[in-house]
Amino acid sequence: MDEEKIKASFFLTGRFYRNNNFKKPIQQLKKNGNYLGAHSDQHLLYCDWSKRDSLLVTKKQFSFDLADNYTSMARRGVAVKKSTYFLPPYEWFNDTIAVWTKDLKLQLINFTPGTLSHADYTTSKDKNYRSSETIFNSIMNYEKQKPAGLNGFILLMHIGAGPDRQDKFYKYLPRLIRELKAKGYHFQRVDELLNL
């Protein structure tokens, strides 16, 4: 992304912020002007997969976990007062979680549905596996088929897919960025895009 001169938004867990192996990459992301936000401390599952209105955490657990995430961000020099957008773990939440987030004076956000960009963590052993070429094509096909294209779209990708995924989607990013720029798209940080 540096070579393409664009900024992005990175929502990281407290565990990620605290991991000294990631200290330099986090500093580099910050130095390059990217947005750094919270993704919970321990990547908790807030509500049941099949019964979304059933909470798996209390408000106290939710609040303390998120506070730990922000404490870890502050220790890495992230300006917490400017990092008010919060991406819930697993991108899975319900109305109660949205209210609790608002009570903490934070804004819950999520990716825009319609593409497979969020499937870049899947491995060939997974039932829901999607190859990087399939993910790339889903983004470009969505852009072609929708009247508004990808205007205002939030694409979610994972900063690390783990060693089990051999087909890394980040290798497709330069091509994706170039093709979208050629179509007239501009890339923005989430705080610039939403500016609530």
CA 155, chain centre distance (Å): 8
Q: Look at the chain and count its residues.
A: 196
At residue 15, φ and ψ (nearest 5 deg) are -60, -40
Check residue 5 and give its pLDDT: 81
Average pLDDT along the chain = 95
Instruction: Note the pTM of the prediction, 2 decimals.
Output: 0.93
Tell me the per-residue pLDDT of 110-122, one tens digit each, with 9 for 90 and over: 999 999 999 999 9
CATH superfamily of the domain spanning 1-110? Glycoside hydrolase/deacetylase (3.20.20.370)
pLDDT digits (tens, 9 = 90+) for 53-75: 999 999 999 999 999 999 999 99
Instruction: List the chain domain ranges.
Output: 1-110, 112-189
Give CA–CA dist 146/190, Å, rounded.
21
Predicted local distance difference test score (pLDDT) of residue 1 = 55
Strand-pair partners of 167: none
Tokens of 70: 């922000």
Q: State pLDDT tens for residues 133-158.
A: 999 999 999 999 999 999 999 999 99
Q: Is 37 helix (H, G, I), strand (E, B) or coil?
A: strand
DSSP 10-33: EEE-HHHHH-GGGHHHHHHHHHTT
